[in-house]
Copies of this chain bind each other. A is one copy, B any other.
């Protein structure tokens, strides 16, 4: 039995609140249970310096947690003066995941940055970020289409993400913090709306895991991501 009484294949309550950031070109407050991430898309009229003159655009992401998003306060990365390895890993993952479903040449010489700021963290902040960031990105692209900056959408598919784990020997979907900190194996899956894999990241925290366990987690993730994509469709519908 999971601490949250959820079934092994049951996600937490998920919601998307669009347009929460008044000044952003697209935004979404995404909730996976008690995890809350504010995703805001910002359009810039030029690509990053290393991409100038190549006729392509770029989509990138930044990720941060408010100091008291968590059980105990953590120091701000602005005051430590360093972006931690964990933060960099996560923002690189979000960026890659989004770019997998964007037609970058069609975007033209522009950059869209998605800021994912975790207001509250109860596990799964990176998967919630990816799932919510897609909404913010999509609304930003719509904003551009409405203003004729783009003729039509440059988004090729949905993208969403969910975590799985082996907890007390059983595979489980969408871990919250209580489960995550006790999981033997922790995995994150990113998939497109059509079911293609974008990222698979599995780590043994204790004992190694087997191929069978990897496949069980993958099956759970597929179910979870189907649900998330359906909810994204409803949210933008």
CA separation between A169 and B218, bound complex, in Å?
22
The reply to whether B207 and A120 form a contact with Cβ atoms under 8 Å apart is no
Contacts of A66 on B, CB cut-off 8 Å?
A: 21, 38, 40, 115, 117
Contacts of A96 on B, CB cut-off 8 Å?
A: 203
- This chain's copy number in the assembly: 6
A55-91 vs B, Cβ < 8 Å mask (1 yes, 0 no):
0000000101011111111001111111111011101
Residues A204 and B199 in contact in the complex (CB < 8 Å), given A62-B76, A81-B82: yes
Contacts of A23 on B, CB cut-off 8 Å?
A: 68-72, 120
**Contact partner, A34, options B22, B68, B83, B89, Cβ 8 Å:** B22
Among residues of B, the one whose C-beta sits closest to the C-beta of A41 is B68
Majority DSSP secondary structure for residues of A touching B = mixed
Contacts of A92 on B, CB cut-off 8 Å?
A: 85, 89
The reply to whether A119 and B204 form a contact with Cβ atoms under 8 Å apart is no
- What 6 A-B pairs have minimum CB-CB distances, sorted nearest first? A196-B208, A85-B88, A77-B78, A42-B73, A40-B68, A200-B202
Among residues of B, the one whose C-beta sits closest to the C-beta of A136 is B68
A91, chain B: closest CB distance, angstroms: 8
A140, chain B: closest CB distance, angstroms: 11
Q: Tell me whether A201 is interfacial, beta carbon within 8 Å.
A: yes
Given A77-B78, A197-B208, A197-B214, 9 more pairs with CB closer than 8 A: A21-B66, A27-B68, A42-B73, A64-B78, A82-B82, A89-B89, A100-B204, A197-B211, A214-B218
Residues A210 and B196 in contact in the complex (CB < 8 Å), given A42-B73, A89-B85: yes
